[in-house]
Structure 1
Amino acid sequence: MTADRDRNGAADGSVQVVRKSAQILDCFSVTTPRLQASEIVRRTGLPSSTVARILRTLVRENLLQREGTAYSIGLRVIGWSAAATAASDLIAAARPLVTGLRDHCGECCGLQVRQGARRVTVIWAQSTHSIVYRGHVGQVMPLQPSAAGKVFMAFDPDALALVLDEGLTARTARTVVDPAVLLGQLVEVREQGWAFCEEELEPGLNSLAAPVRSGDGRVIAAVSLGGPSHRLTPARAKDLAAQAIDCASAIAEGRMWRGDGA
């Protein structure tokens, strides 16, 4: 019994180390490529001694690199990223479709996947307009104040539970912070099959999104459109929703985008 407990304890401890290491690596993004240890402690909420110990290990394994007192992603992770992108059937199939949607509507279009209570942009097609939202591949954003986030929360109870556990935080004067109001919105998302978000993340920024489903019906990604509120109005969002839904369905079915827009 003692040996079993020791083995189970060691296994649990190893899992915790992996989780904490992932928390630390998640702190880095395109907008925050270099971080001090103190900033990592603040972002993760982990004890400084734990962060220091894991940072040393990550640097030793070339998962992070250190320059002075600043840390950044190591070349080993960059190699994994390239391999993951090359091997992803979802990304390979979706990229021309997302780009085609952008070409048709003129607004920023992307594909996002869920990571806990966050969403990660894995494909980004920039708008052709001069006034645009500057997103990028690898961007990590909260689920709560976004159309893509509402898609994940509407169709995935685990995503909703994580957001509610974190608490609803106001990003703008229009961010929904009342759980009852949010739940009502998610009912509407499930009924109509797409989500619209009006100036909840940033003033003047609207978005809409549609779910990409796997063969067993799970929502595995979200096709999203984003644009300034004077262009992406609620009325225009309704007009574009069918195209977003069709793009999401095409990605799920592995269809290809033809040169004639079909």
Structure 2
Amino acid sequence: MIQISVKTLGTLARGLRVIEAIAAHQPIGLTDLSRLLGEDKSALQRTLATLHDAGWIRPLPDSPPRWQVSVKPLVVAGYALTSSPLPARARPLLGSLRDATGETAHLALVDDSTIAVVDVAEGKQIVRTTLQVGQVHPPETSAAGRAICAQLTPDARGAFAPEPDALLPDSEYAEIRRRGWSLCEGAVQPGSTSIAAAIPDADGTPVAAVVVSGPDTRLTPDRYARIGALVRDAATELGGLRLR
């Protein structure tokens, strides 16, 4: 982590916390937001007015108003993803994975201790696994999390996972490294199976994962090795970028 030795802006930090809280609990009013964040109402009201004036949040026509985020965060996220090298390179590969497997393929990026979906090539079958951009994968139980954790040392793995006791035994992470892909059978979404491979940056640090997911009635054990090889090859092709 880069350390910047300057004094931070508390008001800006408060504003960002407010946006995150509204997004997670919208629509939400001043009283509930104040209780949720433990913030003084008058200070929080000024923050809400500032965010509204800047176009980041908007009120519903209630009295008193309840707040929800505007489309501005989506616009900013869109700019960030289309200009970021890894998602741009991954997009055609996700489509190829979807076409080769018939299942949903997606890219998940690592940001500190969060693994978030940033792009999805949705399967074309009527019954399929669906994901939303911004959806968070648990590091301990998801296929993406297991693939990423397998590339970390045991100490780094424990620090990365919010629930270290839920991590796999070291021997299972060694097996994931050996074959190049991980597996999740219904641990995150019942009835859905996922296969993932970690994407390393130029320093070998896992920064993302590419994942194929489908209903367990279709993504069956006899398909694991073939799909795992496809996912592993896609991750290898995407690896090695200088991202940090």
TM-score normalized with structure 1 length: 0.73
Q: How does 1:20-169 map to 2 (within 5 A)?
A: 20-27=14-21, 34-37=26-29, 46-49=37-40, 52=44, 54-67=47-60, 68=62, 69-156=65-152, 158=156, 160-163=158-161, 166-167=162-163
Matched position secondary structure for 1:155:
coil
Structure 1 unmatched ranges of 5 or more: 1-7, 169-176, 255-262
Count how many residue pairs are aligned between Structure 1 and Structure 2: 229
Please name the residue that 1:216 is paired with.
203
Residue-by-residue CA offset, 1:57-106 (whole Å, 9 max, x unaligned): 43333222222433222344343223213312212211011111100000
The letter for the 1-side match of 2:113 is A
| Aligned-pair CA distance for 1:21 | 4.0
Structure-1 separation of matches of 2:14 and 2:160 = 18
Structure-2 separation of matches of 1:188 and 1:77 = 40
State the percentage of identical aligned residues: 25
| Aligned-pair CA distance for 1:125 | 0.8
> Do the aligned residues in 2 keep the contact of 1:154 with 1:160 (CA within 8 Å)?
no
Structure 2 unmatched ranges of 5 or more: none
Structure-2 separation of matches of 1:182 and 1:25 = 38
Q: CA RMSD in A?
A: 3.1
Matched, 1:225 2:225: no
Residues 26 and 145 of structure 1: CA distance in aligned 2, closer, same or farther (over 3 Å): farther
TM-score normalized with structure 2 length: 0.78
Please name the residue that 1:246 is paired with.
233
